[in-house]
Chain A
Amino acid sequence: MSSRYDIEGLLARFLEGQTAAAARLITVLENGGEDAEKVLDAIFSRTGNAYRVGFTGPPGAGKSSLVSRLARRFRSEDAKIGIIAIDPTSPFSGGALLGDRIRMQSLFEDPGVFVRSLASRGSLGGISNCTDEVCDLMDAFGKDMILIETVGVGQSELEIAEKAHTVVVILVPESGDGIQAMKAGLMEIGDIFVMNKSDHSDAEVAAMEIEDSIKLKQVPEGGWRPLVVMTSAKEDRGIGDLAGLIRKHREYLEDNDLMRRKRKKILLSRVRNALMDRMERRLRGSEEVKRIVSGRMEEVYAGRLSPYRLVRELDGIVTIGRSAGPTHGE
């Protein structure tokens, strides 16, 4: 398979700090395959510095607006910021309308902020399958902090907890009595809970309800008990408090050596996932497997051979060390 992109050239321009090259490399990562692996190999040694904060919460809660306000705040402290804003891919057309930038306009003329909108594509869990990889690229590009906005639909936001150092759950007074948040598992993943739209009158009561349910949470001795803050992205209130809590959580992780452990955990799961992907691609691409399976299916259809027995037989044929066959087939 010939490459669509000049990866070497892009990497060179990326290392010089060219935004256009970084942006194109993100596209390469999104498309996956051998090119993506080449990029990840090349940048890996430069990763591990950026602090990753995930933002989740129901649609319209103000995630983009708050991310934008926070980015401004961190910029005033001179941090370089990457933003990954994920919106859902339409299951009908495969297309996507990526609209988070509408709330981030005040950032567009600041070259210290890199915003990338991603469609969730094949992923089921509120983020894109290549969120880790795009984080790596922004990290290697010199960003100090990466803010990740999830889709915020449905009950599958939990993956963000595996990607981010700090998870911020954004709720609004209209989110109800906190029961929805509990059902969606948000109470488990949030390190910080934000009651946004505090310019609405019932925000205080709603924030207290969240406080109450956090009090019920079992937290081990010396563990992190989630904190609650009220904000108004509209009126630019509470943003400093939220930034302060993010800093506090980060200090907690650092003081307890959890940053390093978290990184190890993330890397281990990435090795596992990459291995599974590779094996799956190899299996799917293997002509030999296809031939054997199609040759024996009649026996399975006739009830003489169980699917499991057939797979056990294949197991002896397809060995892991085998290097033949396309690895990026399909």
Chain B
Amino acid sequence: MARMIRVLVAKPGLDGHDRGAKVVANALKDAGMEVIYTGLHQTPEMIAESAVQEDVDIVGLSILSGAHMTMFPRVMELLKEKGAEHIVVFGGGIIPAEDVCRLEEMGVARIFGPGTDTGDIASFIKGSFPDTE
């Protein structure tokens, strides 16, 4: 009995542009996942609480605003507080290479740069949950 992968795709921050996040959400749906999309302007608190209530396996943050160094750690910290540190966090956006390294050291599973093939994101997620195959 295979279980479904549940993903939360969230768009934190103030910029009003979520085309990329929507494209990814839709591609993950087409790859057979249940994708919860929460819309624009999400605070870390909203993201973490939604992720917990929805019991997702993984959260993807789409960040263009440059707030990545505060956003990722804050979401992870809140997940932990809510007893959900098992939820994997990944991200996408324009993030400088040295920050990518630091984020990955902090426990962000993966950062995808602009122009990433959505198929790569889907394979990465599926690969992270071998019990769903």
Which A residues are within 8 Å of any B CB, using their own CB? 4, 13, 18-21, 23-24, 26-27, 30-31, 33, 89-90, 92-99, 101-102, 105, 108-109, 111, 114-117, 119, 330
A27's closest neighbor in chain B, by CB? B55
Interface size on B, residues (CB 8 A): 33
Closest 5 CB pairs of A and B: A102-B39, A23-B55, A95-B29, A108-B46, A20-B83
A105-B38, A105-B42 are known; give 10 further A-B pairs, CB within 8 A: A20-B52, A23-B53, A92-B30, A93-B29, A95-B31, A99-B36, A102-B38, A105-B46, A115-B54, A116-B54
**Could you tell me if B53 and A98 are in contact, using CB atoms closer than 8 angstroms?**
no
Majority SS at the chain A contact face? mixed
Assembled-state Cα–Cα distance A89/B131 (Å)? 21
A118's closest neighbor in chain B, by CB? B34
**Could you tell me if B49 and A108 are in contact, using CB atoms closer than 8 angstroms?**
yes
Residues of B within 8 A of A4 (CB): 3, 131
Does B37 make an interface contact (CB < 8 A)? Answer: yes
**Could you tell me if B38 and A18 are in contact, using CB atoms closer than 8 angstroms?**
no
Residues of A within 8 A of B97 (CB): none
With contacts A19-B53, A23-B54, A31-B1 taken as known, whether A93 is within 8 angstroms of B38 at the C-beta atoms is no
> Chain A's nearest CB lies how many Å from the CB of B107?
18
**8 interchain pairs (CB within 8 A)?**
A97-B35, A99-B37, A105-B41, A108-B49, A108-B50, A109-B43, A119-B4, A119-B34
Does B118 make an interface contact (CB < 8 A)? Answer: no
Does B45 make an interface contact (CB < 8 A)? Answer: yes
A13's closest neighbor in chain B, by CB? B83
Does B33 make an interface contact (CB < 8 A)? Answer: yes
Could you say which of A27, A30, A95 has the most chain B C-beta atoms within 10 Å of its C-beta?
A95
**Could you tell me if B28 and A95 are in contact, using CB atoms closer than 8 angstroms?**
yes
Residues of B within 8 A of A115 (CB): 50, 53-54
Assembled-state Cα–Cα distance A119/B28 (Å)? 14
Majority SS at the chain B contact face? mixed
Does B84 make an interface contact (CB < 8 A)? Answer: yes
Residues of A within 8 A of B131 (CB): 4
Does B32 make an interface contact (CB < 8 A)? Answer: yes
Assembled-state Cα–Cα distance A93/B27 (Å)? 10
**Could you tell me if B1 and A95 are in contact, using CB atoms closer than 8 angstroms?**
no
> Chain A's nearest CB lies how many Å from the CB of B37?
5
**Could you tell me if A20 and B34 are in contact, using CB atoms closer than 8 angstroms?**
no
**Could you tell me if B36 and A98 are in contact, using CB atoms closer than 8 angstroms?**
yes
> Chain B's nearest CB lies how many Å from the CB of A24?
5
**Could you tell me if A93 and B32 are in contact, using CB atoms closer than 8 angstroms?**
yes
> Chain A's nearest CB lies how many Å from the CB of B49?
6
**Could you tell me if B37 and A101 are in contact, using CB atoms closer than 8 angstroms?**
yes
CB within 8 Å of A: which of B1-47?
1, 3-4, 6, 25-26, 28-39, 41-43, 45-46
Assembled-state Cα–Cα distance A101/B49 (Å)? 12
Assembled-state Cα–Cα distance A135/B99 (Å)? 44
The listed residue (A13, A31, A95) touching B30 by CB distance below 8 A is A95
The listed residue (B3, B32, B35) touching A98 by CB distance below 8 A is B35
Could you say which of B36, B42, B83 has the most chain A C-beta atoms within 10 Å of its C-beta?
B36
Assembled-state Cα–Cα distance A117/B56 (Å)? 11
Residues of A within 8 A of B37 (CB): 97-99, 101-102
**Could you tell me if A101 and B39 are in contact, using CB atoms closer than 8 angstroms?**
yes
The listed residue (B28, B31, B82) touching A20 by CB distance below 8 A is B82
With contacts A31-B1, A102-B38, A105-B39 taken as known, whether A97 is within 8 angstroms of B53 at the C-beta atoms is no
**Could you tell me if B38 and A95 are in contact, using CB atoms closer than 8 angstroms?**
no
Assembled-state Cα–Cα distance A41/B122 (Å)? 37
> Chain B's nearest CB lies how many Å from the CB of A39?
13
